[in-house]
């Protein structure tokens, strides 16, 4: 479904993604982990062309995402993206946040979009807060609205860029619960996260990155118990100390 073929990216002189080759199949949950600056966020941001690539190919469902002639609106409509800092629209209610794209991009009639929005906000546990503005919601609630915003587009893929890193510890579980449900429902997901418990429980594979390269790819059971590379071992030893 998502295919990275020799993908390379530079920020100026800085080579941030180096010869990335990775396939993500339909319904798979892939967790991407690694130290700060390893290129994890850049990797998933390239998938919906929030970041361009300079070399290689990134293909989603036989469409080359970085081909200048491609209709990115159509591709982005199929990919939900959840940001670390939520990025909810502060001047819109929760319901308006989740319905603007279905109405304006998918051209769904307003009433139908509102009904869908209410259903999905209820599904993420925010049925009572549809008229609330982001400032009136906690961090965990805002992130759940952000997830609902992605889901209202009925995407094929959901990308998560450190979705719980900006949350207070007591709010992390409410977001991870929503993500677990999505994974169980068969959504194709790529998740950049430091939540190794989540990875162990839900991921089909863990991709470990360091210095712009994919160092190791393995099922969570294999990666956490028996990492094959020294860098993988060092990373796990440092995070599992906490």
Partner 1 sequence: MWSFYFNELMRSLPFFLKGLWMTVAVAGLSLIAATIIGFILGIVRASKNKILRSIIGAWVDLIRGTPFLVQVFIVFFILPSAGIELEAFPAAVIALSNMGASFICEIVASGILAVPQGQREAATASGLSSFQQLRFIVLPQAMRSIIPPLVGQYVLIIKDSSVVSAIGVVDVTRVGWLTVQRIPEGLMVFGLVGILYFAICYPLINLSNYMERRMTVTATRL
Q: How far is the CB of 94 from partner 1 (least distance, A)?
A: 14
Query: What does DSSP say about strands 29-33 and 188-192: parallel, antiparallel, or unpaired?
Result: parallel
Please report the sign of the dihedral spanned by the C-alpha atoms of residue 175, residue 176, residue 182, residue 187. positive
Q: How far is the CB of 35 from partner 1 (least distance, A)?
A: 23
Q: How far is the CB of 166 from partner 1 (least distance, A)?
A: 11
Q: How far is the CB of 63 from partner 1 (least distance, A)?
A: 14
Q: Looking at beta carbons only, is 83 or 208 nearer to partner 1?
A: 83
24: CB partners within 8 A, 6+ apart = 1, 2, 3, 30, 188, 190
Residues forming the site for partner 1 (CB under 8 A): 48, 50, 72-74, 76-77, 79-81, 83, 85, 87-91, 100-101, 104-105, 134-135, 149, 153
Do 190 and 2 contact (CB within 8 A), yes or no? yes
Q: Looking at beta carbons only, is 146 or 214 nearer to partner 1?
A: 146
Cα 202 from Cα 179, distance rounded (Å): 9
Q: Looking at beta carbons only, is 24 or 199 nearer to partner 1?
A: 24
Residue 53 burial (C-beta neighbours within 10 Å; 0-12, 13-18, 19+) = buried
Q: Looking at beta carbons only, is 35 or 155 nearer to partner 1?
A: 155
């Amino acid at each position: 479904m998502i295919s990275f073929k020799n993908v390379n990216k530079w920020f100026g002189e800085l080579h941030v993604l180096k010869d990335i080759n990775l396939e993500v199949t339909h319904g798979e949950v892939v967790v991407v982990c690694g130290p700060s600056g390893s290129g994890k966020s850049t990797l998933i941001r390239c998938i919906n062309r929030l970041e361009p690539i300079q070399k290689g190919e990134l293909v989603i469902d036989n469409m080359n995402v970085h081909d200048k002639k491609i209709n990115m609106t159509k591709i982005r409509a199929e990919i939900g993206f959840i940001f670390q800092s939520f990025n909810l629209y502060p001047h819109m209610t929760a319901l308006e946040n989740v319905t603007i794209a279905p109405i304006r991009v998918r051209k769904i009639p307003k009433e139908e979009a509102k009904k869908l929005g209410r259903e999905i906000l209820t599904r993420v546990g925010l049925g009572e807060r549809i008229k609330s503005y982001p400032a009136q919601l906690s961090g965990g609630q805002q992130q759940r609205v952000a997830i609902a915003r992605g889901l209202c587009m009925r995407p094929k893929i959901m990308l998560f860029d450190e979705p719980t890193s900006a949350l207070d510890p007591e709010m992390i579980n409410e977001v991870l619960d929503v993500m677990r449900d999505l994974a169980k429902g068969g959504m194709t997901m790529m998740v950049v996260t430091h939540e190794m418990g989540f990875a162990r429980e839900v991921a089909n594979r863990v991709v470990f990155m360091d210095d712009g390269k994919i160092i190791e790819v393995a099922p969570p059971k294999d990666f956490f118990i028996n990492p094959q590379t020294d860098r993988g071992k060092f990373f796990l030893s440092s995070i599992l100390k906490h």
